[in-house]
């Protein structure tokens, strides 16, 4: 019974990682860039959600939608200012820029707001226990899992059934050919950043309501773990990011349940090392030669 409880907790945590990982994998799939500022978009989303709930007195879902809108715009601004001028630059230049943008967001936020943590108000989500087949499960875990799954289903619909989704897949496959077919590549890349950033913002609100405490440097570890999840599933592959996030969350919860909670952060990077050694293309990836 304890195992089932830990699996539910792990899947809930993993769904947060999956939402962040989707942004990494979508951006990499289209512009071959690891956007290390993505974890900080997650942090900004957590704070936008916090102020939406405390200052604007919104309930969970309106705060979630407002946060997704704000972080989508924020993601497009980052792309247009920092990454668009480097579209044809070397990979290492783009990577260093991404790290620089990450540090700028973190310490710029601290400069204007201060470094003190905040706590989400209690009662944002229902907290009663639900008994299923004799197992007592926190209703917050179920609520978070359902919200994350719905967002992932919507993403799959957007990517596979809408015009912008088809444009994203075309640009990912061959940007030059897509441009010749009349697709606006710059707008498509901006849309990808917007969607990925909106999902990271949603993950920030979900994280804040579940763990309560938020602070300006909170995006570093979840951002790195989401990157591990994206690599685990196969970077650039959307279903891989979902599965990788869920698997990583479950592994972390099982490690904590086994009494090794101090190792839970290290486990993610042990998984990354093992994946890079034994399965470098990830669970869903294909081995392809890549000229760097």
Min mean pLDDT across 50-64, 231-245, 272-286 is at 272-286
Please check the confidence at residue 47 and state whether its pLDDT lies above 70: yes
* pLDDT recorded at residue 256: 86
Average pLDDT for 52-78: 95
* pLDDT recorded at residue 141: 81
Length of the chain: 292
What's the CA gap between 66 and 254, in Å, rounded?
Answer: 34
Query: What would the pLDDT profile of 130-163 be if each residue is shown by its tens digit?
Result: 776 666 777 788 888 889 999 999 999 999 999 9
Residues in Cβ contact with 200 at an 8 Å cutoff, skipping those fewer than 6 apart:
19, 20, 23, 38, 39, 41, 42, 45, 71, 75
Average pLDDT for 263-279: 87
Query: What would the pLDDT profile of 230-246 be if each residue is shown by its tens digit?
Result: 999 988 888 899 999 99
CATH code for the part of the protein at 2-115+136-278: 1.10.3470
What number of other Cβ atoms are within 10 A of residue 107's Cβ? 13
* pLDDT recorded at residue 289: 54
Strand residue runs (E) in 80-230: 118-119, 129-132, 135-138, 213-214
What's the CA gap between 292 and 233, in Å, rounded?
Answer: 22
Please check the confidence at residue 202 and state whether its pLDDT lies above 60: yes
Phi/psi at 244 (nearest 5 deg)? -60, -45
- State the DSSP code for 216: T
Please check the confidence at residue 288 and state whether its pLDDT lies above 90: no
* pLDDT recorded at residue 292: 47
| Residue 137 φ/ψ region, left for φ over 0, alpha for ψ in the -120 to 50 degree band, beta for the rest | beta
* pLDDT recorded at residue 4: 79
Query: What would the pLDDT profile of 104-134 be if each residue is shown by its tens digit?
Result: 999 999 999 999 999 998 877 777 777 766 6
| Average pLDDT value for the chain | 89
Q: Where are the domains of the chain?
A: 2-115+136-278
What's the CA gap between 155 and 238, in Å, rounded?
Answer: 9
Please check the confidence at residue 287 and state whether its pLDDT lies above 60: no
What's the CA gap between 259 and 132, in Å, rounded?
Answer: 25
* pLDDT recorded at residue 54: 93
For residues 10 and 268, is the Cβ–Cβ distance under 8 A?
Answer: no
* pLDDT recorded at residue 18: 94
Name the nearest CA neighbour of 95 among 227, 274, 277, 201: 227
């Amino acid at each position: 019974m304890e195992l089932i409880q830990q699996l539910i907790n792990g899947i809930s945590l993993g769904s947060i990682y999956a939402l962040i990982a989707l942004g990494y994998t979508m951006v990499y799939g289209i512009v071959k860039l690891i956007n290390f500022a993505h974890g900080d978009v997650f942090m900004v989303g957590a704070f936008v959600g916090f102020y939406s709930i405390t200052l604007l007195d919104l309930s969970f879902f309106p705060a979630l939608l407002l946060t997704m809108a704000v972080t989508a715009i924020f993601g497009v601004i980052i792309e247009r200012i920092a990454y668009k001028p480097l579209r044809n630059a070397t990979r290492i230049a783009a990577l260093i820029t991404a790290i620089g943008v990450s540090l700028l967001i973190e310490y710029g936020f601290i400069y204007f707001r201060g470094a003190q943590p905040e706590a989400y108000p209690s009662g944002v989500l229902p907290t009663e226990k639900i008994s299923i087949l004799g197992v007592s499960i926190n209703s917050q875990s179920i609520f978070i899992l359902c919200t994350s799954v719905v967002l992932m289903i919507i993403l799959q619909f957007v990517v596979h059934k809408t015009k912008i989704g088809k444009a994203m897949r075309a640009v990912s496959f061959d940007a030059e050919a897509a441009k010749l077919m009349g697709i606006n590549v710059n707008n498509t890349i901006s849309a990808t950043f917007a969607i990925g950033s909106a999902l990271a913002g949603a993950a920030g609100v979900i994280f804040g309501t579940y763990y309560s405490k938020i602070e300006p440097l909170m995006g570093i570890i979840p951002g790195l773990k989401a990157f591990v999840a994206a690599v685990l599933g196969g970077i650039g592959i959307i279903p891989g990011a979902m599965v990788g996030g869920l698997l990583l969350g479950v592994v972390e919860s099982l490690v904590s349940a086994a009494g090794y909670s101090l190792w839970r952060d290290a486990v993610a990077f042990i998984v990354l090392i093992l994946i890079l050694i034994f399965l470098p293309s990830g669970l869903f990836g294909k081995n392809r030669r890549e000229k760097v």
